[in-house]
Chains A and B, each alone.
Chain A
């Protein structure tokens, strides 16, 4: 039921634009994550949806109704916080029944709704405990149950996993998604953690510096990033500079800078002499045995290796002195430092971007 539209939303704090003319649509029963480095404005959007931040411009619609000026308590939302915010002077039961109590619900109704919510998160046996006696994951489950017992179909999650240990985070995120889907909720989840976003979301909105760069499914974002930043944020890629030398049918040839080697790219949309950035994911590069008309071939010399256990990362110097990183399964490699090797990767896997005004800035993860 909740279908949310955000139109031309802006909010500044002094001279800093926290969010700048943002448009976003979240569909009913969708799990959307707002992903971006800290300070990108994702939390401001969530808080604006909750009504905890009053935007300077723009509007927010719930099911077509403008709620921009409604206070949070009249918006019918459920929200989960990074630091749980379980009221410290109330026990688990009183925390979970709080939204019902303040709406003057009857005892029977409270028993039923809160009981169900606690059951869902598996905390039925902890009802009489005080927050100080709970572990961090339990606290967040109480937070979740409390949000469920509002009865709202919209769940807002502000970094709900980042105060938990890595070990619990995985379990919790699967459980979270299952609960949201099982209850048929619309969820908006703010996170700075790519893997959480990739795992949990139907769609991801990637943000940077107050703007949304791309909204798409995790798969589409990964394989078709619309900018160098998105590509760099979601995958470990090599970014190398080159110029279009020749356009062919559905393909082009790019020569790397410094009269380097040639690389075929899977598009003919760039005109001749266009300055480009090519992005090749580290794990798409392999040491070449299988060569076909669909692969690129490069020669390089191993100058450094980082052993990560199951994988090893090699730094390879090309003939034009560019360094390329390759991530290879450790068991597959006979090579070591100083060796000359042949690298191969699929033409299809080369992503191309127009060379930006400031490449360093595009590659900065903030």
Chain B
């Protein structure tokens, strides 16, 4: 037996197997991940005539589609812009507090920040909708019969802030922790007040992280579907427009909008890779008096208090409001879920199992194909090709998932390059789409871990007589295990929480975020709350577990 394994591994270590493995990994990446996303350009190009007629020159609606498209696009940008600016204003102080202060309960706040990252945005959006938009929320405390706000742009912004906030805070916190404080001490000793130091020294030292976090938050907001579905009212954003057009069978306009969104996303990615290093902050003028006043301890304390208050009222309380709703409306939940004639429990159970099996399958495939990709990017000495792969990996991260889903739907379906189509909407197409947008998460988690493994261990194993595959199994794998577990959990929760792309390709299959959206639309709030709470607990438990792993690894 041992002999056999030895033989097999020797065979797997051969030059042929290595070349085959590399080609397969890259081939899979190009064919399954990249080409279907970029296919939308070919599609729009080849169908330009009919798309043009549909969008700009429809016999009945004229250029209404174009007008709608433009409105939605501009609105999306506006919302993403406003959200990002607010994020920076409330996220920067929070990042500073978490990076620089020690206080009781810091640990808990730190893990609460991650909550919106872990939870499916549909569940999150629903919770926030309950809080601001219904009589079961904050307005109930004042005895009002309706919600404080109605669905629309304001509530979209409130929701988007919640789930983009962690990106800003996490990014900035890491960057602030990396800033050498002695630079600040030097500036203080040279006569700069606390605020001046922050503006002229800390600022420039952390600007790359700030810009990266802001771009990330912007792309998130631009591409979000699940939560937006719940609170948009009549204010359609671009991803929602794609979903709507797809449902109406208006493939032409949907394809056109998808192409624009993919283009925008690629530009943002380019921006992220290139421009972050070149953004300057002004230190030409110093307002000595004002800045000294701003440095007063009392102002700092006020600021910290204010940030904590905003965090509780606008982020945490709305995110967790579903729990309070369930606590106070238990009987309604019970009757809707367990006693209703439409058997919501069975529907929930069915979509729950599909969600789990889709997430599980997608994660498994991402593990199998993500490890060799990460190894290639870190270890192979291919120069330019490696850099290109490294840049391409991030593409699915920045593209709005509804656009991503639509492009893949077109590629594999009857409209695509394969006659008759390969996959029709349904379970397997969902799995495929989830693999595509989860893949970068897995690879991105693995890259730094592989990079941190000292190749000396592997060299030592080679000198001891192990062929390269055996080295991987006996030496690299044990060092990598924790990273793979971490990557799997992130991939799994991503897949579990995705809405936009799933809506486009789901056919008759339902996942949990989708039924939450469905039930809210059908005004079955109690049942939606039930589904939300279960998925929130489930995801948060996973993330909690993830933190345990990564913390004990340090």
Which residues on A are within 8 Å of B, measured CB to CB?
A: 47, 50-52, 71-73, 76-79, 81, 83, 85, 87-89, 98-99, 101-104, 146-147, 150, 156
Interface residues of B in 511-528 (CB under 8 A from A): none
Taken together as a complex, chains A and B put the C-alpha atoms of A87 and B182 apart, in Å, by 10
Q: Check B189–A103 contact: CB distance below 8 A.
A: no
Taken together as a complex, chains A and B put the C-alpha atoms of A81 and B286 apart, in Å, by 24
14 contacts between A and B (CB under 8 A): A50-B189, A51-B189, A72-B188, A72-B189, A76-B191, A78-B189, A78-B190, A79-B185, A87-B183, A98-B187, A98-B200, A99-B191, A99-B192, A147-B189
Q: Check A98–B194 contact: CB distance below 8 A.
A: no
- Select which of A87, A101, A146 is within 8 A of B286 by beta carbon: A101
Interface residues of B in 203-236 (CB under 8 A from A): 204-205
Q: Check A71–B189 contact: CB distance below 8 A.
A: no
Q: Check B189–A98 contact: CB distance below 8 A.
A: no
A71 and B194 in contact, given A51-B188, A52-B189, A156-B189 (Cβ under 8 angstroms):
yes
Residues of A within 8 A of B191 (CB): 73, 76, 99, 102-103, 150
Most buried by A among B180, B182, B204, B295: B182
Q: Report whether over half of chain B's contact residues are helix, strand or loop; otherwise say mixed.
A: helix
B177 within 8 A of A: no
Q: Nearest residue in A to B283 (C-beta to C-beta)?
A: A101
Residues of B within 8 A of A85 (CB): 180, 182-183, 185-186
Most buried by B among A47, A85, A104, A146: A85
- Select which of A71, A76, A81, A101 is within 8 A of B186 by beta carbon: A81
- Select which of B190, B201, B284, B287 is within 8 A of A99 by beta carbon: B190
Those 6 A-B pairs whose CB atoms lie nearest each other, nearest first? A79-B189, A99-B190, A72-B188, A85-B186, A89-B204, A102-B192
Which residues on B are within 8 Å of A, measured CB to CB?
A: 180, 182-183, 185-194, 196, 200-201, 204-205, 283-284, 286-288, 295
Residues of A within 8 A of B182 (CB): 81, 83, 85
Residues of A within 8 A of B204 (CB): 87, 89
A260 to nearest B CB, angstroms?
53
Residues of B within 8 A of A103 (CB): 191, 286, 288
**10 further contact pairs, Cβ within 8 A, besides A73-B192, A79-B186:** A51-B188, A52-B188, A52-B189, A77-B189, A81-B182, A83-B182, A87-B183, A102-B191, A103-B288, A104-B287
Taken together as a complex, chains A and B put the C-alpha atoms of A146 and B186 apart, in Å, by 10
Q: Nearest residue in B to A76 (C-beta to C-beta)?
A: B191
Q: Check B190–A98 contact: CB distance below 8 A.
A: yes
B463 to nearest A CB, angstroms?
37
Q: Check B189–A102 contact: CB distance below 8 A.
A: no
Q: Check A102–B188 contact: CB distance below 8 A.
A: no
Taken together as a complex, chains A and B put the C-alpha atoms of A249 and B301 apart, in Å, by 70
Taken together as a complex, chains A and B put the C-alpha atoms of A81 and B183 apart, in Å, by 9
A89 and B205 in contact, given A73-B191, A78-B189, A102-B192 (Cβ under 8 angstroms):
yes
Q: Check A71–B188 contact: CB distance below 8 A.
A: yes
A73 and B188 in contact, given A101-B283, A102-B288, A104-B288 (Cβ under 8 angstroms):
yes
Taken together as a complex, chains A and B put the C-alpha atoms of A104 and B192 apart, in Å, by 11
B133 to nearest A CB, angstroms?
45
Residues of A within 8 A of B205 (CB): 88-89
Q: Check A73–B283 contact: CB distance below 8 A.
A: no
Q: Nearest residue in A to B288 (C-beta to C-beta)?
A: A104
Residues of B within 8 A of A81 (CB): 182, 185-186
Residues of A within 8 A of B183 (CB): 85, 87
Q: Nearest residue in B to A52 (C-beta to C-beta)?
A: B185
Residues of B within 8 A of A73 (CB): 188-194, 196
Q: Check A102–B190 contact: CB distance below 8 A.
A: yes
Taken together as a complex, chains A and B put the C-alpha atoms of A81 and B187 apart, in Å, by 11
Residues of B within 8 A of A147 (CB): 189-190
A146 to nearest B CB, angstroms?
7
- Select which of B194, B201, B284 is within 8 A of A87 by beta carbon: B201
Residues of B within 8 A of A156 (CB): 189
Most buried by B among A81, A98, A104: A98
Most buried by B among A50, A98, A102, A156: A102
A48 to nearest B CB, angstroms?
13
Residues of A within 8 A of B193 (CB): 71, 73
Taken together as a complex, chains A and B put the C-alpha atoms of A292 and B188 apart, in Å, by 62
Q: Nearest residue in A to B281 (C-beta to C-beta)?
A: A89
Residues of B within 8 A of A89 (CB): 204-205
A146 and B188 in contact, given A101-B286, A102-B288 (Cβ under 8 angstroms):
no
Residues of A within 8 A of B189 (CB): 50-52, 72-73, 77-79, 147, 156
Residues of B within 8 A of A71 (CB): 188, 193-194, 295
B259 to nearest A CB, angstroms?
39
Q: Nearest residue in B to A85 (C-beta to C-beta)?
A: B186
Taken together as a complex, chains A and B put the C-alpha atoms of A102 and B190 apart, in Å, by 9
Taken together as a complex, chains A and B put the C-alpha atoms of A87 and B183 apart, in Å, by 7
Residues of B within 8 A of A88 (CB): 205
- Select which of B185, B186, B196 is within 8 A of A102 by beta carbon: B196
Residues of B within 8 A of A98 (CB): 187, 190, 192, 200
Q: Nearest residue in B to A98 (C-beta to C-beta)?
A: B190
Residues of A within 8 A of B188 (CB): 50-52, 71-73
Taken together as a complex, chains A and B put the C-alpha atoms of A150 and B188 apart, in Å, by 11
Q: Check A102–B286 contact: CB distance below 8 A.
A: yes
Most buried by B among A79, A101, A147: A101
Q: Check B200–A102 contact: CB distance below 8 A.
A: yes
Q: Nearest residue in A to B291 (C-beta to C-beta)?
A: A102
Taken together as a complex, chains A and B put the C-alpha atoms of A79 and B204 apart, in Å, by 21
A4 to nearest B CB, angstroms?
15
Q: Check A150–B186 contact: CB distance below 8 A.
A: no
A145 to nearest B CB, angstroms?
12
Q: Nearest residue in B to A79 (C-beta to C-beta)?
A: B189
Q: Nearest residue in A to B286 (C-beta to C-beta)?
A: A102
B554 to nearest A CB, angstroms?
21
Q: Nearest residue in A to B182 (C-beta to C-beta)?
A: A85
Taken together as a complex, chains A and B put the C-alpha atoms of A156 and B185 apart, in Å, by 13
A266 to nearest B CB, angstroms?
47
Taken together as a complex, chains A and B put the C-alpha atoms of A88 and B277 apart, in Å, by 13
Residues of B within 8 A of A76 (CB): 191
A91 to nearest B CB, angstroms?
13
Taken together as a complex, chains A and B put the C-alpha atoms of A96 and B188 apart, in Å, by 14
Q: Nearest residue in B to A82 (C-beta to C-beta)?
A: B182
Taken together as a complex, chains A and B put the C-alpha atoms of A129 and B182 apart, in Å, by 22
Taken together as a complex, chains A and B put the C-alpha atoms of A81 and B182 apart, in Å, by 8
Q: Check A146–B190 contact: CB distance below 8 A.
A: yes
Most buried by A among B180, B192, B194: B192
Taken together as a complex, chains A and B put the C-alpha atoms of A73 and B283 apart, in Å, by 17
A247 to nearest B CB, angstroms?
55
Residues of A within 8 A of B192 (CB): 73, 98-99, 102
B7 to nearest A CB, angstroms?
53
Taken together as a complex, chains A and B put the C-alpha atoms of A71 and B193 apart, in Å, by 8
Residues of A within 8 A of B187 (CB): 87, 98, 102
- Select which of B185, B186, B286 is within 8 A of A104 by beta carbon: B286
